[in-house]
């Protein structure tokens, strides 16, 4: 038995780490992702987040995707990948980012997402030549509110995004808004209305003109790390 155990370990050493698809939708290997992004060429670079990088890629069947690669040397990246997988695995709404697949092995973690050709809302809000009129802005507000309504009240487990801001709202080809980046998400147990988090998101984004209640919520979140659907 001992000899057999040593033999099996010796055989496994030469094999590549097992790649896992956390979503069980379709399997896209590390090699296929490298091909799709031209080995993560800078020409396909879309942006950088707190825990990694996003690249544009084209799969074998012609589909254009966004590949979110987690920087495993960054503190909190592994936890962020786990949180995003846990949140997105069971979320289905027209105003949320759609996940096509994932790729996970000990040395590499990535999510394959639907590509949003119109980029993020921040780019549109602050562009000099922005064409967002008041009607389109209201449409985007309704899209975002619909996503939050689903996350907070319509999903079996209430979901607190924890980092909702213009750069995390993506726009598809029809300018429909999709909430993205669930790396700091917290899931509330049935008996919970507040959850504690050690990882704080973008504290300075919330506008200051919403009154004392929002200020109190900011103090709770910023000083104590208490996050809720409020």
The total number of structural domains that make up the chain: 1
Residue 187 lies in a domain: no
Annotated binding site: 68
User: Exposure string (b/e) for 106-134, b if CB count within 10 Å is 16 or more?
Assistant: eeebbbbbbbbeeebbeebeeeeeeeeee
Residue 69 lies in a domain: yes
Residue 142 lies in a domain: no
78/75 Cα distance (integer angstroms): 8
Identify the DSSP state of 152.
Answer: I
Tens-binned pLDDT, residue by residue, of the chain (230 aa): 665 655 555 444 444 455 555 555 678 899 999 999 999 999 999 998 778 899 999 999 999 999 999 999 888 888 889 888 888 888 889 999 999 999 999 999 999 999 999 999 999 998 888 789 999 999 999 999 999 999 999 988 888 888 888 999 999 999 999 999 888 888 876 655 555 455 555 554 454 444 455 555 555 555 556 677 77
Residue 149 lies in a domain: no
163 is catalytic: yes
Closest CA to 149 of 136, 158, 140: 158
The single residue of 143, 163, 174, 181 carrying the catalytic annotation is 163
Burial class (CB in 10 A: 0-12, 13-18, 19+), 4: exposed
Structural domain including 37 reads 17-114
Residue 57 sits in a domain whose CATH number is 3.30.200.20
Residue 37 lies in a domain: yes
What value, to the nearest 5°, has the Cα angle with vertex 75 and ends 69 and 80? 50
Task: Please count the residues of the chain.
Answer: 230
Residue 30 lies in a domain: yes
DSSP 82-129: HHHHHHHTT---TTBPPEEEEEEETTEEEEEEE--TT-BHHHHHH-TT
Residue 127 lies in a domain: no
Closest CA to 181 of 159, 203, 149, 157: 159
197/225 Cα distance (integer angstroms): 5
Annotated binding site for ATP: 68
Residue 33 lies in a domain: yes
């Amino acid at each position: 038995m001992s000899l057999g155990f040593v033999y099996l370990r010796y055989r496994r050493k030469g094999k590549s780490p097992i790649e896992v698809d956390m979503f069980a939708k379709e399997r896209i290997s590390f090699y296929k992702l490298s091909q799709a992004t031209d080995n993560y060429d800078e020409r396909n670079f879309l942006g950088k987040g707190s825990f990694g990088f996003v690249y544009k890629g084209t799969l074998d069947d012609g589909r254009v995707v966004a590949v979110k690669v987690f920087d495993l040397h960054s503190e909190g990246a592994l936890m962020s990948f786990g949180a995003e997988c846990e949140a997105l695995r069971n979320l289905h709404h027209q105003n949320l980012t759609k996940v096509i697949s994932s790729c996970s092995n000990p040395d590499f973690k990535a999510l394959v997402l639907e590509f949003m050709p119109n980029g993020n809302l921040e780019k549109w809000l602050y562009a000099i030549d922005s064409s967002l009129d008041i009607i389109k802005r209201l449409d985007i507000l309704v899209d975002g509110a619909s996503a939050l309504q689903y996350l907070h009240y319509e999903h079996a487990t209430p979901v607190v995004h924890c980092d909702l801001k213009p750069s995390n709202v993506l726009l598809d080809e029809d300018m429909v808004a999709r909430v993205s980046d669930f790396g700091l998400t917290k899931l509330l147990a049935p008996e919970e209305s507040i959850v504690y988090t050690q990882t704080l998101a973008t504290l300075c984004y919330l506008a200051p003109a919403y009154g004392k209640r929002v200020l109190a919520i900011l103090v709770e979140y910023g000083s104590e790390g208490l996050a809720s659907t409020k």
